C-alpha cells in the first residue's frame, strides 16, 4: 500500500476490518484506515471493490465479521439499538436511490434531515407545519441546488436527477458531523455534479463537516477530494493525495478494466 498517512483527531477508525457475507463473498479484507474530523475523503474502486460494504458498516446496517470499527468514539457491531440510532442522528446519508419519502413535498423531505436531533413532538410539528425560519433555511439550500421553485412540489414528481439533489439538500440541512455520500453525483449532469461537490466542499471548509464519498469519477476526486482511498476486491491499495494515484497511470483498478 502507498501513501498511507496518520490523522488526528480520529473520527473513524477501522482495525483489520473484515466483512464476509453469508454467500462467502468477501466485502472487505482486513481494512486498516483512520479518518479525522474535518476531512473530505473520496473512496474509489470498481464495482465489488468494497466501497458500499464499507459504507454499510459505517452506518451500522451490517456488522463486521472480524476486526473493529469505531465511529465518533463508538465501536460498531456491539451497540444497543438506541445507541446506534443516536449515533446515526449525527450522520447524514446520501444514497444512489435518493431515499425520497413518498407523499411529502420537497421542503418536507429536506426537513427530515433534522428529525433525528429533535423530540418526537417537535418532529411531528416540523413535518406538518414549518416555521418561517425553517422555510427560509430550506429555500436557501434548495436555491443553491437549483430547486427553489420545486420547494412545495411533491418530491416523487421530480426527475431522478432532481430527487438526487433533494437528497443532497437533506444532508446539507441536517447539520450532521459526518456525511456519507454513496455515489452522490451518479444520476446528475456534469454541471449539477460540480455544483453538488462544490457545496459539499464548502460545507467541509466552513463547518469542518467530515465528508466521505464513494465515487466512480476519478477526475472529480482529483478536483474535490484532498485525500482518496482506493479499494480493490476488498483490499486497501492506496491512501493519499489523488494526484499521486491518478497521475500514476493506475486508473484501471477503479474503472474495473
Range 184-208 average pLDDT: 85
Q: Is 70 exceeded by the pLDDT of residue 239?
A: yes
Phi, psi of 216, rounded to the nearest 5 degrees = -100, -25
Q: How many Å separate Cα 50 from the centre of its chain?
A: 15
CATH code for the domain of 246? 3.40.50.300
Which residues lie below 8 Å from residue 207, measured CB to CB, with a gap of 6+?
Answer: none
Residue range(s) defining the domain that contains residue 147: 38-60+81-255
Cα–Cα distance list, 121 to 81, 85, 115, 118, 202 (Å):
21, 17, 10, 8, 33
Residue at 182 is within a domain: yes
Range 122-139 average pLDDT: 77
pLDDT tens profile 170-189: 988 888 999 999 888 877 78
Kindly give the pairing relationship between strand 40-44 and strand 10-20. unpaired
Instruction: Say whether the peptide bond before residue 9 is cis (omega within 30 degrees of 0).
Output: yes
How far apart, in whole angstroms, are the C-alpha atoms of residue 85 and residue 62? Answer: 14
Residue at 76 is within a domain: no
Residue at 173 is within a domain: yes
pLDDT tens profile 220-237: 888 899 999 999 999 999
Which residues is 89 bridged to in the sheet?
A: none
- For residue 222, what pLDDT is reported? 86
High-pLDDT (> 70) share of the chain, %: 87
Count structural domains, the chain: 1
pTM: 0.84
High-pLDDT (> 90) share of the chain, %: 50
Residue at 7 is within a domain: no
Residue at 186 is within a domain: yes
How far apart, in whole angstroms, are the C-alpha atoms of residue 125 and residue 123? Answer: 5
Nearest Cα to 171, choosing from 158, 161, 184?
Answer: 184
Residue at 3 is within a domain: no
Residue at 115 is within a domain: yes
Q: Is 80 exceeded by the pLDDT of residue 249?
A: no
How far apart, in whole angstroms, are the C-alpha atoms of residue 197 and residue 204? Answer: 10
- For residue 129, what pLDDT is reported? 67
pLDDT tens profile 154-174: 999 998 888 888 988 998 888
Q: Find cell 436555491 and name the residue.
A: 143
Amino acid at each position: 500500500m502507498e501513501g498511507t498517512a496518520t490523522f488526528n483527531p480520529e473520527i473513524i477508525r477501522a482495525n483489520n476490518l473484515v466483512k464476509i457475507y453469508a454467500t462467502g463473498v468477501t466485502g472487505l479484507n482486513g481494512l486498516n484506515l483512520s479518518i479525522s474530523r474535518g476531512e473530505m475523503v473520496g473512496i474509489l474502486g470498481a464495482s465489488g471493490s468494497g466501497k458500499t460494504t464499507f459504507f454499510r458498516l459505517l452506518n451500522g446496517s451490517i456488522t463486521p465479521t472480524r476486526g473493529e470499527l469505531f465511529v465518533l468514539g463508538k465501536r460498531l457491531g456491539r451497540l444497543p439499538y438506541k445507541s446506534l440510532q443516536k449515533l446515526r442522528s449525527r450522520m447524514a446519508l446520501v444514497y444512489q436511490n435518493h431515499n425520497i419519502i413518498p407523499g411529502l413535498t420537497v421542503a418536507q423531505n429536506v426537513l427530515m434531515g433534522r428529525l433525528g436531533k429533535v423530540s418526537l413532538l417537535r418532529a411531528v410539528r416540523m413535518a406538518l407545519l414549518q416555521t418561517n425560519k425553517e422555510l427560509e433555511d430550506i429555500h436557501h439550500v434548495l436555491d443553491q441546488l437549483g430547486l427553489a421553485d420545486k420547494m412545495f412540489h411533491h418530491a416523487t414528481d421530480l426527475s431522478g436527477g432532481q430527487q438526487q439533489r433533494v437528497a443532497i439538500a437533506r444532508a446539507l440541512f441536517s447539520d450532521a458531523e459526518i456525511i456519507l455520500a454513496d455515489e452522490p453525483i451518479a444520476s446528475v449532469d456534469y454541471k449539477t455534479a460540480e455544483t453538488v461537490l462544490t457545496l459539499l466542499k464548502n460545507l467541509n471548509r466552513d463547518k469542518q463537516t467530515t465528508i466521505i464519498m464513494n465515487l466512480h469519477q476519478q477526475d472529480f476526486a482529483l478536483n474535490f477530494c484532498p485525500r482518496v482511498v482506493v479499494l480493490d476486491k476488498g483490499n486497501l491499495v492506496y491512501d493519499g493525495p489523488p494526484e499521486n494515484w491518478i497521475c500514476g497511470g493506475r486508473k484501471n483498478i477503479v474503472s474495473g478494466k
